Copies of this chain bind each other. A is one copy, B any other.
Amino acid sequence: MTGRENLWMRPDRPARGPRPAFSRARLTEVAIRIADAEGLDAISMRRLATEIGAGTMSLYRYVSSKDDVIELMIDAVVADYLPPDAVMTGDWRADLRGFAVGVRQTMLRHPWVAPLVGTRQQPSPNRVRMLDAALRMVDDLGMSFNEMLTVIGTVFAYVNGFVEAELAEAEALRRTGLDLMEWMTLQVPYLQSVVASGSYPMVARMLTEGGQDYVDVGDRFDFGLDRLLDGIAARLPHASG
């Protein structure tokens, strides 16, 4: 891996030389396991290498940089945005909703992926696959192709933004190494001083009545998603589904 070529356009097996000791698939699998358990910054080339049982620099035979490892990880996870048994009903709204729910569930299983995929739009096999599937869901609805792209992009923006926020607190705990109790102990005095100032009545209400009729995170996700789909449906050229 000497640098410039595209990560996704390499032959599986080189023509000459000894057979490789491992594979990019193995590398990806190990990296995902570490990131799931300990977060993205637990991933270093040295750590990956020892976990695989190889020398650090050997990884660079399979990948031209750490960035490539990240790309491999993203692509692998994106593969199950749509589970293999997902069916397209032909009802665009149900299909798109199922897709969004699947994306969220996958992102919750791999908490490091949402921030990455939100900020990296490089094409990769599974991202291409998912984009194609999503576009097929809104085909034949009387929209222009760019309108279809806009709709898909809108839904995905919402899902990504929501899940990032959803994971933010857990990530803060991981980043600081604190447990929930310690973290609260740090934030509460400040919030109390905010409330005491009297300048932020709504935030004050949040701290007092916020816990009252608690709304489940999944329900909040569904609410926003359904409102978005409502709004889109109302603007469709002709009512289909």
Interface of A toward B, CB cutoff 8 Å: 4-6, 8-9, 67, 115, 118-123, 125, 128-129, 131-132, 135-136, 139, 144-147, 149-150, 153-154, 156-162, 164-165, 167-169, 171-172, 175-176, 186-187, 189-191, 193-194, 199-203, 205-206, 209-210, 212-215, 220, 223-224, 226-232, 234-235
Q: Is the CB of B161 within 8 A of A118?
A: yes
Binding site of A, secondary structure by majority: helix, strand, loop or mixed?
helix
Inter-chain contact A187/B123, CB cutoff 8 Å: yes
Q: With the chains together, A199 CA to B132 CA distance in Å?
A: 9
* Complex alpha-carbon distance, A200 and B215, angstroms: 40
Given contacts A115-B115, A119-B115, A119-B167, contact A200 B132 (CB under 8 A): yes
Beyond the given A118-B161, A132-B199, A230-B234, please list 20 additional residue pairs across the A-B interface where CB-CB is below 8 A: A4-B186, A5-B186, A67-B175, A115-B119, A120-B168, A120-B171, A123-B190, A131-B206, A139-B202, A144-B213, A146-B213, A150-B223, A154-B223, A157-B161, A158-B161, A158-B224, A158-B228, A227-B235, A230-B231, A231-B234
13 contacts between A and B (CB under 8 A): A4-B186, A115-B118, A121-B168, A132-B202, A135-B202, A145-B210, A146-B213, A157-B165, A157-B224, A158-B161, A159-B161, A226-B231, A231-B234
Minimum CB distance partner of A131 in chain B? B203
Minimum CB–CB distance from A226 to chain B (whole Å) comes to: 7
Given A161-B160, A203-B128, are A119 and B168 neighbors across the interface (CB < 8 Å)? yes
Query: In chain B, what residue has the closest Cβ to A203?
Result: B132
Residues in B whose Cβ lies below 8 Å from that of A165: 118, 121, 153, 156-157, 160
Name the contact of A158 in the complex, choosing from B118, B157, B193, B226 (C-beta under 8 A): B157
With a CB–CB cut-off of 8 A, which chain B residues contact A232?
Answer: 227
Known A-B contacts A115-B115, A210-B145, A227-B231; the reply to A156 vs B161 at CB < 8 A is: yes
* A215/B146 in contact, CB under 8 A: yes
A140 to B234, CA, bound (A): 26
